Amino acid sequence: MEGPPRLKPLVAVCQVTSTPDKELNFASCARLVREAAGRGASIVFLPEGFDYIGESTAQTLSLAEGLDGDIMGRYMQLARECKVWLSLGGFHERGQDWAATQRIYNCHVLLDPAGTLVAAYRKTHLCDVELQGRVSMRESSFTNPGAEILPPVDTPVGKLGLCICYDLRFPEVSLALRRAGAQLLTYPSAFTFPTGSAHWEVLLRARAIECQCYVVAAAQTGQNHGHRTSFGHAMVVDPWGAVVAQCHEGPGLCYAEVDLGYLRLVRSQMPVQGHRRHDLYGTLEAKGLAAAP
């Protein structure tokens, strides 16, 4: 399935409402991927929890699979069928240590059009948040943190840095990816409504501006189950910090062209990376002046 040729590559960003029903979720995501491929997208981005969002920790753990399981096999076939790259932004992975830990990984999988697993980034920052009366999350109670940040991956739209959701709050990650050559940063997410309405767009635009990168953020939206509602507003931000594409209410897609010539222009006119004082950063910590948590 191939769309018309383009001078600038097209990215497609999905907004979905995952539930505990894995079959229904796959059908919904596959429909969006096929639609995006038909429009000529080079890469399709799916959000954190694209496979499912469980109602309880026990259900979340029971539904998890390995990267060699049925769900990932289906997405590999879908990539081959549609001839697109797939950013699968937060897979509930039973890793090789499942038997010993009984914990999963939150895994961002990148597939190429041959259905080959090109990269698997495991979320390094786990979301443990208590907002009185509004949000209570403790991802670390059932998830293992990843051990490394992956180098950016060459794709048809540029060098792609992989992150997941809560990583968005840690500019150290995006700056490290930028130093390693990233041209796009991706934050597939399942932000809650209270945190999303306050911080989502602000953080995405900040990461784009400070790194002079495109930022691509697929998102969960709406009521995932009886006691969880996601914020939505999947979007693409350009290297100047402008929102160039955005989903609104409900499941769907938004599209943006990636202009690496424009990215290079922004970087050349304001060469922020060359102005960074790496000789100074960290010196306060070295002097024992770091603030308490």
Catalytic positions, please? 48, 123, 165
Report how far residue 41's alpha carbon sits from residue 87's, in angstroms, rounded to the nearest whole number: 12
CA atoms within 13 A on the CB side of 82: 27
Residue bearing tokens 């922020």:
272
Integer distance in angstroms from the first to the last C-alpha of the chain?
A: 51
CA atoms within 13 A on the CB side of 66: 8
Residue 177 has φ and ψ, to the nearest 5°, of -65, -40
Determine the residue type at 259. Answer: D
Report how far residue 220's alpha carbon sits from residue 57's, in angstroms, rounded to the nearest whole number: 18
